[in-house]
Amino acid sequence: MNDPFDRAPGAGRSRVNPGDYGFPGGAAAGEKEAKPPVFNQREPLRQPRTCPPFLESSSGANLSSDAGSGTDTPMLTKLASEPPLYDEGDAYYNEPTLADMVTDFLGHLSSSPGSFESDIEYITNMLSSYVSTEELLQELVELIYSKSTEIPNFSYMGARLCNYLSHHLTISPAKDNFRQLLLKRCHIEYEQRDKAVRGDTETQKRFHSYVLFLAELYLHLEVKGAKGALNRANILLNALKDLMISLLSHPVDANLICAVKLLKLTGSVLDDEWKSTRQTHMDEIIQRIETVLLDATCSRCVYPRLRVLFIDVFYVCADMNVRCLKECVFLGES
């Protein structure tokens, strides 16, 4: 208890006899009892800043032992009392509707028209498995008609799709088949033609889309004859003539542009069909076109373009009875 402490900085914490290092006040020189080494039992200078790893492992072991001991901690008791949580987004699987399927199919065909031949059979099989009632068949017809007249430049692809479905879509029992329901839907717009050509801009736009879709249907929709031969639907032939007359009866710019597109698309086919049955419908249409050009009821910016296009498609040389362009001198006239 009377031994002094070495308080020098960095010195050990053990009591040291100063006599061992030659400091004054040490033991007598003749003392026979030997002293133990200075740092025989070393203690840490300070507490470690971080807990040793064995403490964390031991705490985990204690937690597992507590869980296995049957004594629930307050946190475990609280978690056990709460109901399990589930992701509501994966709880229910909503089967796609017919509208979803048709929208996806038509969107795919619109973006990848080259895949029609390879994908049409799969699309038809999917629709056949889904359309099981006449109500669904009616909905399918309405969806395809709407998309074919709404999606830009889709009338050609829509007409091809309608032709394929009319021959391969199976549904039984059904009062009407796909083609019959489609023609009925087109007839509704046909009855409104005289009103549509005089409607507002949006009404005329929808009507013009319908006209071009009906023209594509006439070119691609095939109907089996009595002997099994495939022919065009003649009912559409007369409808296109009436639509052309309606467009020319109200010769505003939009109607005339639609008439030009219709003539460029089906003019030669219509003329050949009418000539084969000795009908003069094309002559009547040409006379109406000449009247429109002479009256110049369209705007100045549209008139030259329409004049050239009409002549390009429909001017028939009387002496050769073939289609040809008007002479350049005539085209240059104002």
pLDDT band at 253 (very low <50, low <70, confident <90, very high): confident
Per the prediction, the chain carries an average pLDDT of 75
Q: How far apart are CA 296 and CA 231, in angstroms?
A: 39
Q: Establish if 309 belongs to a structural domain.
A: no
In the chain, the percentage of residues whose pLDDT exceeds 90 is 38
- Could you list the residue range(s) of the whole structural domain that residue 128 is in? 96-169
Nearby residues of 133 by Cβ (< 8 Å), 6 or more positions away: 171
Place of tokens 């692809």: 157
Q: How far apart are CA 282 and CA 274, in angstroms?
A: 8
Q: How far apart are CA 29 and CA 276, in angstroms?
A: 146
Q: Of the ranges 57-61, 115-119, 272-276, 315-319, which one carries the lowest mean pLDDT score? A: 315-319
Return the structure tokens found at 18.
């100063």
| Tens digit of each residue's pLDDT (9 = 90 or more) over 20-33 | 444 444 444 444 45
Q: Establish if 125 belongs to a structural domain.
A: yes
Beta strands in 160-304, from DSSP E residues, in sequence order = 222-224, 230-232
pLDDT higher than 70, residue 244: yes
pLDDT higher than 80, residue 40: no
More confident residue, 213 or 20: 213
Tell me the pTM: 0.66
**pLDDT in the model for residue 46:** 57
Q: Establish if 143 belongs to a structural domain.
A: yes
Place of tokens 């300070």: 46
Q: Establish if 191 belongs to a structural domain.
A: no
Q: In sequence order, which ranges of 82-200 are alpha helices (DSSP H)? A: 88-91, 98-111, 116-130, 134-150, 155-168, 178-191, 193-196
Beta strands in the chain, from DSSP E residues, in sequence order = 222-224, 230-232
**pLDDT in the model for residue 191:** 96
- Please compute the mean of the pLDDT values over residues 276-302 and round it to a whole number: 77
Q: Which of 21-30, 53-62, 220-229, 313-322 is modeled with the greatest confidence? A: 220-229
**pLDDT in the model for residue 328:** 31
Domains: count for the chain? 1
**pLDDT in the model for residue 333:** 39
pLDDT higher than 70, residue 313: no
**pLDDT in the model for residue 307:** 65
pLDDT higher than 80, residue 317: no
More confident residue, 333 or 26: 26
pLDDT higher than 70, residue 247: yes
Q: Establish if 55 belongs to a structural domain.
A: no
Is the omega angle on the peptide bond into residue 173 within 30 degrees of 0, that is, cis?
yes
**pLDDT in the model for residue 327:** 34
Cα Rg, the chain, nearest whole Å: 47
Q: Establish if 148 belongs to a structural domain.
A: yes
Q: Establish if 129 belongs to a structural domain.
A: yes
Q: Establish if 21 belongs to a structural domain.
A: no
